[in-house]
Structure 1
Amino acid sequence: MGVAALALLLTLLRQPLADWFWPETRIQQLLDDGRRALAQGRLTAPDGDGARELFAAAAALDPDRRDVQDALVQTGQAALAQARRQMGAGQLAAARTSLELARQLQAPSAEIEQIERALQHGSREQDGVEQLLRDAEAAHLAGSLDDGPDSALPLYQRVLAVQPDRMQALEGRDDALSDLLARASGDANEGRLADAAALLQRVERYDPGHAELPAAKAALNAALEQRARQGERELARGRLAQAAESFQKVLAVGEDAAARRGLQRIAVAQAQEATRLASDFHFGQAEAALAQARALAPDSTEVAAAEQAVQRARDARQSMETPLSNAERERRLKRLLAQLQEAEAREQWLLPPGSSAYDRFKAAQALAPQDARVRRAAARIQPAARQCMEDNLRGNRLRAARTCLDAWQALAPSDPALAPAHRRLAQRWLAVGSERLGMGDTAFAAQALQQARQIDPGTPEIHAFAERVRSAGPGP
C-alpha cells in the first residue's frame, strides 16, 4: 500500500517537480507554444492556450527573462493591430475586446487612446453605416444598381469608404456588379455595343478585379467582331446604309481600323453616286448622297472631288439658263474648246475636276449644244475615251479604265457598245478580286465586288463571288 501511494504522489507531482528542477526547459516550451498561438492569431483563450496565457505562465517562472517580456510586448502589439482590423470591418465590440487585451498587456498608451477615440467615433458612425447598408440592399432589390447617388453601388461604396473590410458591403457590391455585367451581356447580344461597353467601364471603375469582368470583355469583343463581319457582308452586297450602321456601331465603342476603312469605302461609293446623279441634273438626290458621304468621311479626297463635280454640274445647268450675248458666248466657247484640246492631249478625261476633257466638253455643250464645233469635238473625243478604256483594260489598270468608261458614257450615253464594255470591265474586276481573295486580301475583294456591282450589276458572276467574299469574312 505504501509503495502504491508513493507512486501516485510522484505521478501527480511530476510536472510541478520538473518545472521546479528544470525551469529552463519548461519556459522554452511555453515560449514555443505561445509563439505558435501568436502566429495563428490566437491571442487569448479561456482554456489557457492563448498567446497571452502561455507567455504569462513563462513569465511566472522567470519574470526577468528578456525574451519572455518581448513576447508579451509582441502580443500587446498584435492586440492593437487586431483591434484596428476589427474596427475597419465594423466589428466594434470585438475591437473593444482586443483593445482591452492590449491595455492589460501594457501596450503604449498613446496608441490605445488613438484607437479608443476612433472607436468612439466609429460608434457614432455605426448607426449611419447600418442605414446605408439597408438602403443599398433595398436599392439593389429594386434593380437600381448605378443610377445615381441613392442606387446600390454608390451606397455600398460609401459603406466601404468607412469600413473597407465590411463583408456585407463587399458581397453586396460584388452581386450588384454581377447584375450590371449581365445587363452588359444582354446589350451586347442585342447589338447595343456602346451601351455594353459603357457598362463594362462602370464595373471596372468599381472593381477592376471582378471575377466575371474578363469573360464579359471577351463577349463584347466577340460581338464587335461579329458586327464588323456583318458590315463587310452588307458592303459586299451593296447595302451601303446597313453596312455604315454596322461599322458605326463598332466605332462607337472605340477606334477600329477595319471599320474605319469600311466607312471610307462606303463614302467613296456615295460620292460616286452623287457625281452620277449630278451629271443627270438630279441635284436633290446628288446632295443627299453627298451629305451621306461627307458624314462618313469628311476628309476624303473622293468626297471633295464629288463636291466639285456636283458644283460643276450646277454651273453647267445655270449656264444653259443664263442669257449671253453672241460675242460673249463665242468667246467662252472658243476658250472651252481650246482647253478641251489641251486636256485631250494630256488624256485627262475626267480628272482633275473642273479641268478634265469631259468637264470642258460638258461646259461647251451646255453653252452651244448645236454648234458644229461642239459636235465635232464629241465625235473626236468619244472614240478617244473608248480607246482609253480599252488600253487601260488591257493593262489591268481598272480604275483608270473605269474613268475612261465613265467619260465614254457621258459623251455618248446611247452608244450600243457601252453595255458589253461595262460587262467586260465588271468581269475583269471580279477576276482580279478573285485572285486577291485567294491570297487572303478580303478587303480588296470586297472593293472589287463593289466596283463590279456599280459598273454592271447584272454580271452573272457577281452572286457566286459575293458568297465567297461573305464566307471569307472581313479583311485585315
Structure 2
Amino acid sequence: MSAARPGADWRKQWRALPQRWRQLLLVLAASVLLAVLAALLFHNALGRWLWPDPRYDALRQRAELALQAGRLSAADGSGARELFEAALALQPDQLEAREGLERVAQAAMARADAQIRAGHTAQAQASLQLAQTLQAPLARINALQARLSEIPTRADSIELLLQRAQSALMQGHLDDGPDAALALYQQVLLRQPRNQRALDGREDALDALTQPAAKVLAGGDLAQIAALLQRVEAADPGHPVLPALHAGLTQAQTRRNQQLQRMLHHQQWEAAVQLCQPLSAVPGVPLPELCATGLDDALLHAANVAIAASRFDQARRLLELAEQAGVATDRRQQVQRSLQAASRIQPQRPQVVTMQGRAKVAKLLTQAQHAQARGHWLTPPGESAWDRLREARALAPNDPRVQHALQEMQLAAHTCHTTAMRDNNLGRARECLDAWRQLAPNEPALLSAQRRLAERWLAVGDERLRAGDVRGARTALERAQQVDADVPGSEALTHRLQRIGSALK
C-alpha cells in the first residue's frame, strides 16, 4: 500500500492545481516536445541556415564580381550565371543566389536592348536567349524580340546606309519617306550616335531643306510657310531657322485675316471662301481667325438677309458657299428650313389686298395674339402664334398692322427667353429662343443667347453627373448639343459619360 502512495500523492497534487495552470503546463510540455522533434527531423536544414557553407559565400562573391565585370555567362563556368547556379546548388534555401540570377537576367535584357539599337543582331539574340533561360519577364522579352525582328534581314551595314543616304541627298530626296536622306542618316545615328559622317550628312540635308526658307518667308504664303515649318520641326525641333518661320507664319496669318476682313466687308463671298478653303484642306495649317469662325457667321447671316428680302437664289448660293467653307450641317439646316418655308409662302403672296383679305389678316393677327398669350409660340403646327403671323404676312406683307405685330412678337419672344433663363426654366427658354429665331433670323444677339442656353444645359449635365444621375446628364448633354452643336465643353462631358458607360458594362 505504501509503494503506490507516491503516485497517488502526485495525482492528488496535480488535481489540486487550478485548471488554468494545468492547461498552461500541458501546452508548455507539448511545445518542448515539438521543438525536440523538429530539431531531430530538420537539424540539417537549420544548420545550413544558421551556419552557411563557406563554399557558398565564396561562389556568391565570385558571381557578384563577374556580374559587375559584365561576364554574364561563360562556358568555363566563370560567368555570373554559372557561379550563382553553383552557389544555389550548395545552399538551395539561401535567397541571395536566386536574386543574383534575377539580376543576371535583367543585365542580359539591358545588353540585348543596347545591341538591338546598335544593329548587332547575333549578339542581341544570344543575350535574349540567356534572359529567356533565366526566366526573365516574358512580356519584355517579347518586346525586345519584336524590335530585333524589325532589323532588316538584308543586314544593312552602316556603310551601305551611309551610301544610300548620300545618294538620296544628291537626288534631292530629303524627307519624303523611309528611303529619304534624313531618315537613312537617322538610322545610322540610332546605331552609332557619334558617327561623324552621319552627323555631317544630316546637317547637309537640313541645310538643303531650309534653303528655301528666306524665299518662302518673303513670299508670305501661309500654306508654304506652314508646310516648311512642319518639315523642319519633324527633322530637327531645335533648328535655328524655326523662330523665323514661326514669326513669318504669324505675320502671314495676320495678313490673311486682314484680307479676309476686307472681303467680308465688301460682301465678296466667293473670294472669301476661295481664300480659306485651300488652307483648311492642308493638315496642320493654322487658319486665320476669320476663316475659322467669322466666315461661317457672315455667310449664314447674309443668307438670312437674302431670305428676308425674298432673294432666294442668292440665299441658295450662299448656302452652297457655306457648305464649301465647311460650316456645320446643323447650322446650315436651320437656314435651309427658313429658306424652304419662305419659298413656299412667296408664290401665294397676292399683289393686291382685298377687303376680304384685310379682314382675314385682322382675324389671323388676333389668333396669333391669343396663341402667344397661351405660350403657343411654335406649336401646335398651323395654330401657333408664328404660323398665324406668317399667314397674315403672306397675305399682306406691307400692312402696318402686320409689321407692328411682327415687332411686338419679336420683342415678346426675346423677353420670354430672358425671363425663362432668369428663372432657370431651360425648356421654356429653348422654345422662346426658337420663336425669336423664326421672327428675327438676322438678330446679332441670337448667337450669344444660343451659346448661353447651351452652356446652361452643360452645367445641368455636369451637376447631374456629379450626383450620379447618368441618364439625366446624358439628356442635358443632348439638349445642349441641340441648341449649339459647337458649345465648348460638350466634348469633355461626352468623354466623361463614355468612360462611365464603359465602366458600368
TM-score (normalizing by structure 1): 0.41
Q: Which has the higher contact order (CA 8 A, sep 6+)?
A: 1
